Structure 1
Amino acid sequence: MRFPSLLPAALALLLTTASCSQAQSDTSEKGDKKAKNAKGGDRRKDKTAASEVQGLVKVGSLKGVVPESSGLAQAPKAGHYYSFGDDGNRPILYEITGTGEGAGKLDVPADNTDWESLSRDGQGNYYIGDCGNNESTRHDLRIIKFRPDTPAKAGIIAFQYPDQNEFPPKKKQRNFDCEASLWHDGRVWLFTKDRGQSSTSNVYSVPDQPGDYTAKKVGAIAIPGQVTDAALRPDGRRLVLLGRGELFILDGNSWADILKATPRQVALTGAGQTEGAVFKDDKTLLISTEQGGLFEYTLP
């Protein structure tokens, strides 16, 4: 009767097997998570993440309507908006409703080198920021000014930065990519997307009339992110700088005060690569993503 002497060995084998099984299970779970992350994360979670951000609501989709939406502006018709595709897409403004339905197209007689932003003034003129500059190598930065009723008469506001002397500069100094611009008080204002390491959005401005200019450097805003669009509230007292999956709010009683304000950061977790923003009303932003999402965000 030697069975009792086998019990410790059997028990040890049992514990070892369970331990290995658990380790394999943990490894499998980690592998699954890595696989999901490699493919862009858990899509089911992505779909519901936006609902977890207070005030953020998905209101429509631009898929099949606007290819890689990179900006937004109010269209002449109330409740309608213009958007456009990123670089490599056709030079077209797509008119959409507030829920993403297509409502028309407008051909613009200008190349889309790297369109990144869109705004309008109080007289019905629109300004397309063709100043995307990922590698800080462009010598042909420009803003296209036009009216929707006479697009063939588009004018060009060409500009260069006063502080760029190398094309490209060193990687840590590449802060000459601009994906955010807006019209205000007779000038077009440019907010750079810092591709260096300073976490700073430099602010420049140029006149709103066609011509060739050296932009005026106005200042800089400490932004812990990369700016992809800009929107100014109609009363001129709140500026919103959009980032990728986040936004920054600057308030002030004047434009000068706003540019000196400390930004308040708001996470838009789950929205995706947010690229376009426009005020729908004083408290609500309409936000588009490059993946085709269309959201409303109620500002705090």
Structure 2
Amino acid sequence: MSCQNYGELKVVTVLPKLLDEVSGIQKEANSDKVWMVNDSGNKSELYKVTSEGKIEKTTSINAKNYDWEDLTSDDNGNLYVADFGNNDNKRKNLVILKIKKEDLLNGDNIEVEKIQFSYPNQTKFPPKKKDRFFDAESLIYKDGFLYIFTKSRVKNKQGKTMLYKVPATKGEYTAKYIAEYSNCNDLHCAVTAATTSPDKQKVVLLTHKSVLVFTNFNGDDFFSGDVKEYTFNHISQKEGITFKDDTTLYITDEADKKGSSKLYEFRLKD
């Protein structure tokens, strides 16, 4: 693993107050617009946002926002909402909501397909504090499957993430465990979002202080290849990430007590 201090996050815009708790973002295909969602305690709504930070469209979803944490899309433009935030590791209603492209284009109060799942290695709800590895805030799509990266709630092991997969079709599943990866071990090492590059050759995980870029992996064991860390020049509650283009990321953070949430650009350099 190599650490690259390239640093500068470029602020693109300050986001509206309605998006102070933005938790997931996904760039719309063939567009400069970005879909965004807020996390638990907020409305079941999707927001299409311009690069200037204007909410262009609000779409209601006919499903409760228990704890929406990430967004991803498939090759056909269908959108997936990760409703699997699980701070206390005791949820039994983990679900990914599939929203069809045509409904996104035309509808409101949209019906969803539910992809329900459980973790194969969780037997207690909640587990003991030393075993609370079943929160998650990160989701990507690849080749017909959805991949979940967990977020550790275990002290001194916050940088651990486990990778699971489920089919990207309606149903109830036991997720398949694939592998795990450990970053650094403090609070700001926890994985808070994920995305894939347009060519599917990079998988990127977000933390409060950096991005981890995985390449040259075998199949869907994204941790099997090379990893490079790009460290930011400041720490904030960063929770949303998507590729703007092949080499540039969009990143969002939640508002702190003194400010507003922001949309950033971050360029990956070789």
2:256 pairs with 1:296: no
Higher strand share: 2
The Cα shift of 1:269 comes to 3.0
| Matches of 2:56 and 2:235, distance apart in 1 | 24
| Matches of 1:187 and 1:167, distance apart in 2 | 26
| Cα-to-partner distance string for 1:201-245 (whole Å, 9 max, x where unaligned) | 100000000100000001111222100000100111111100112
Report matched runs for 1:67-86 at 5 Å. Answer: 67-75=20-28, 78-86=31-39
Partner in structure 2 of residue 170 of structure 1 = 128
Report matched runs for 1:133-172 at 5 Å. Answer: 133-150=86-103, 152-172=110-130
| Matches of 1:255 and 1:232, distance apart in 2 | 14
- 2:265 match: secondary structure: strand
- Report the aligned-residue RMSD: 1.8
TM-score by length of 2: 0.87
Report matched runs for 1:75-224 at 5 Å. Answer: 75=28, 78-150=31-103, 152-196=110-154, 197-198=156-157, 199-224=159-184
Pair 1:206–1:256, CA change in 2 (3 A): closer
Are the equivalent residues in 1 in contact too, given 2:218–2:224 (CA < 8 A)? no
| Matches of 1:132 and 1:217, distance apart in 2 | 18
Unaligned segments of structure 2, at least 5 residues: 256-260
Are the equivalent residues in 2 in contact too, given 1:117–1:181 (CA < 8 A)? yes
Pair 1:171–1:178, CA change in 2 (3 A): same
The Cα shift of 1:101 comes to 1.7
Are the equivalent residues in 2 in contact too, given 1:241–1:249 (CA < 8 A)? yes
| Matches of 2:81 and 2:11, distance apart in 1 | 26
Are the equivalent residues in 1 in contact too, given 2:96–2:116 (CA < 8 A)? yes
Are the equivalent residues in 1 in contact too, given 2:87–2:135 (CA < 8 A)? yes
TM-score by length of 1: 0.79
Instruction: Tell me which of 238, 244, 255 is aligned to 1:280.
Output: 244
Are the equivalent residues in 1 in contact too, given 2:152–2:160 (CA < 8 A)? yes
Higher helix share: 1
Deviates more, 1:61-70 or 1:255-264: 255-264
Greater relative contact order structure (CA < 8 Å, 6+ sep): 2
The Cα shift of 1:257 comes to 6.1
Q: Which is higher, the Rg of structure 1 or of structure 2?
A: 1
Q: Which amino acid aligns with 1:299?
A: L
The percent of aligned pairs where both chains have the same amino acid is 33
The Cα shift of 1:262 comes to 4.6
